[in-house]
């Protein structure tokens, strides 16, 4: 761009570059299955009182700088970039001062300590000296970070979140010891002694933290929801979603009824069996075959372009050192902006009779995971190549999860799953779960549902195993807006597609629509809609002023 618009673009990009450099060091580590951000090589979380003061001050500066940029009359691309930046800044404020996980959630500090170790272990590459030393620094930082945690949590930690964390850490010393024993052979011999010392110290610190929590953590608070007003503000300013909490409840219920009706129709098909493979090696081989077949299906049906430079999404056996703490996140390595030449991988546990909900579905048919987690890999790999740096970053789950969820049903309708495949029923089970998540997420946030009720509701209505239901309920209570993102993003995409067909008529091309959607997959759907169609439709598209 040139002239005034060129200057405007430079200001937006400069502010975005400064913000994301800051955010890479400040943004909390989470258990989200999508890689949120690429960290500096020497990064370690810092949630000390001094760091919190710095974060607030810098956030004030970013908000002021963002408000000073006027985009009225600018090209749509600049309006979108400005709104993206406003969304990212609003999320940082929402996390810091509304959710306040650093003050309320003990598991937050498990994520900022042992979770950092998990993230380093999940990378699918050798343990060279640089990677080994990063792991050692992460282990060494656990004790001091948990001292800070005690300071913030004392008398402030929320009772149900404490109970969840105590349960998570019940065997943490043994888990860390197992991790160290399994990891040592992969380490450089001269660093194995340091690994043993650092991991043992870390395990003791985590166990002591658990015992302190179990003893009452200096006094506990009751859980209180963030409330309808705060949830509405999140939807409007962070997720840029054009629906109120009440509208989302109704949409979720309608979609759940639709999923139940489709499941009932599916049950009328002649029953067929679907046997799990005898061993993990067979499952890994089948997954690679199915991933290649999926990419060929895209091309044959004109659904989605598959550039030669795009890597593969593969499944591999889970190493024992990762399995020991696999509860700390989704065992996917979706690579990163600087690792685009690498394949994405999913680590799989051994095939047994008692696998959790999603691993069980994958063991019976790896396509059930390829059409969701594999989509995350492809979408991120394509978005990280976007020529606009501001569009390479992850902002909110609605777009990313909405794409993957939309893709599942789209592939079902496109004939990807044969009529005889029992996996069709699995995909419909996923649809029921994600519709129910809307109701659970909204009702927890507004105070209309307890944690126990949410757990029981998910376990009986999906249905799903009690452990997974408890994990989901705790996650939604701690991070409102995450659970509803799948269904809401999917609905937005479907409306976006329908309006594109209406506007473009005979010129509409599904492959082109999907290529653009995937490439801009970190961008809220309402902003994509604004840029492509020139209209935001029903949604409130505006920069936060």
Secondary structure of 369-416 in HEC code, one letter for each residue:
HHCCHHHHHHHHHHHCCCCCHHHCCCCCHHHHHHHHHHHHHHHHHCCC
Structure tokens that stand for 358 in this block:
């999603």
Asked if the model's pLDDT at residue 536 lies above 60, the reply is: no
pLDDT at position 305 is: 98
pTM over 0.85: yes
Asked if the model's pLDDT at residue 545 lies above 80, the reply is: no
Q: What percent of the chain has pLDDT over 90?
A: 81
pLDDT at position 540 is: 42
Which of the four pLDDT bands, split at 50, 70 and 90, describes residue 108?
A: very high
Q: Which of 343, 357, 347 is nearest to 326 (CA)?
A: 347
Average pLDDT in the 121-144 region? 95
Flag the least confident range among 134-138, 355-359, 529-533.
355-359
Q: Which of 481, 469, 449, 436 is nearest to 223 (CA)?
A: 449
The length of the chain is: 545
Which of the four pLDDT bands, split at 50, 70 and 90, describes residue 543?
A: very low
Question: Would you call 332 helix, strand, or coil by DSSP?
Answer: strand
Cα–Cα distance measured from residue 156 to residue 510, given in angstroms and rounded to the nearest whole number: 51
Asked if the model's pLDDT at residue 1 lies above 90, the reply is: no
Asked if the model's pLDDT at residue 2 lies above 70, the reply is: no
Question: Would you call 316 helix, strand, or coil by DSSP?
Answer: strand
Q: Which of 442, 476, 477, 452 is nearest to 460 (CA)?
A: 452
Any idea where the domains of the chain sit in the sequence? 3-214, 229-486
Cα–Cα distance measured from residue 355 to residue 358, given in angstroms and rounded to the nearest whole number: 8
Q: What percent of the chain has pLDDT over 70?
A: 97
- Condensed to tens digits (0 to 9), the pLDDT of residues 366-388 reads 999 999 999 999 999 999 999 99
Average pLDDT in the 477-484 region? 91
Which of the four pLDDT bands, split at 50, 70 and 90, describes residue 14?
A: very high
Structure tokens that stand for 518 in this block:
């995937």
Which of the four pLDDT bands, split at 50, 70 and 90, describes residue 461?
A: confident
> 172 and 210 in contact (C-beta within 8 Å)?
yes
Average pLDDT in the 83-104 region? 96
pLDDT at position 396 is: 83
Cα–Cα distance measured from residue 432 to residue 423, given in angstroms and rounded to the nearest whole number: 14
pLDDT at position 230 is: 96
Structure tokens that stand for 497 in this block:
């597609």
Residue whose token pair is 């760091």? 51
Burial 221-260 (b: 16+ CB within 10 A, else e): eebebbebebbbbbbbbbbbbbbebeebbebbeebbeebe
């Amino acid at each position: 761009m040139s002239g005034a618009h060129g200057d405007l673009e430079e200001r937006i990009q400069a502010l975005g570059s400064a913000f994301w450099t800051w955010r890479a060091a400040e943004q909390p580590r989470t258990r989200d299955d999508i890689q949120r951000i690429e960290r500096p090589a020497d990064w370690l979380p810092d949630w000390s009182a001094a760091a919190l003061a710095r974060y607030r001050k810098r956030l004030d500066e970013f908000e002021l700088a963002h408000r000073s940029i006027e985009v009225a009359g600018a090209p749509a691309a600049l309006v979108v970039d400005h709104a993206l930046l406003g969304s990212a800044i609003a999320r940082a404020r929402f996390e810091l001062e509304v959710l306040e996980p650093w003050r309320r959630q003990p598991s937050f500090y498990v994520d900022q300590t042992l979770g950092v170790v998990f993230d380093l272990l999940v990378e699918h590459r050798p343990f060279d000296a640089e990677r080994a030393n990063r792991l050692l620094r992460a282990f060494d930082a656990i004790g001091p970070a948990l001292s800070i945690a005690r300071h913030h949590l004392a008398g402030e930690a929320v009772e149900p979140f404490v109970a969840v964390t105590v349960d998570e850490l019940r065997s943490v010393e043994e888990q860390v010891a197992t991790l160290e024993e399994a990891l040592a052979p992969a380490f450089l011999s001269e660093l194995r002694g340091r690994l043993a010392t650092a991991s043992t110290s870390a395990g003791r610190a985590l166990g002591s933290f658990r015992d302190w929590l179990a003893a009452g953590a200096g006094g506990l608070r009751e859980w209180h929801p963030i409330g309808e007003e705060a949830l509405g503000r999140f939807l409007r300013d962070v997720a840029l979603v054009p629906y109120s909490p009440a509208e989302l409840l109704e949409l979720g219920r309608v979609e759940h009824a639709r999923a139940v009706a489709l499941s009932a129709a599916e049950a009328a098909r002649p029953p067929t069996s679907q046997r799990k493979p005898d061993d993990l090696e067979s499952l890994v081989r089948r997954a690679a075959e199915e991933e290649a077949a999926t990419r060929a299906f895209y091309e044959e049906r004109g659904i989605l372009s598959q550039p030669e430079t795009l890597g593969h999404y593969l499944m591999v056996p889970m190493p024992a050192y990762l399995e020991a703490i696999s509860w700390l996140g989704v065992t996917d390595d979706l690579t990163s902006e600087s690792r685009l030449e690498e394949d994405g991988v999913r680590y799989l546990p051994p095939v047994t009779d008692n696998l959790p909900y999603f691993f069980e579905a994958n063991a019976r048919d790896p396509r059930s995971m390829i059409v969701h987690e594999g989509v995350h890999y492809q979408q991120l790999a394509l978005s990280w190549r976007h020529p606009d740096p501001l569009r390479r970053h992850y902002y909110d789950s609605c777009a990313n999860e909405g794409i993957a969820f939309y893709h599942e049903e789209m592939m079902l309708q496109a004939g990807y799953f044969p009529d005889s495949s029992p996996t069709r029923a699995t995909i419909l089970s996923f649809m029921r779960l994600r519709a129910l998540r809307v109701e659970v997420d909204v009702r927890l946030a507004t105070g209309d549902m307890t944690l126990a009720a949410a757990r029981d509701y998910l376990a009986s209505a999906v249905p799903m195993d009690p452990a997974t239901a408890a994990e989901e309920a705790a996650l939604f209570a701690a991070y409102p807006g995450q659970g509803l993102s799948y269904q809401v993003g999917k609905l937005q995409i479907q409306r976006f597609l329908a309006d594109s067909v209406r506007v473009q008529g005979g010129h509409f091309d599904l492959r082109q629509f999907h290529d653009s959607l995937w490439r801009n997959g970190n961008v809220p759907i309402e902003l994509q809609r604004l840029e492509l169609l020139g209209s935001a439709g029903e949604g409130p598209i505006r920069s936060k002023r």
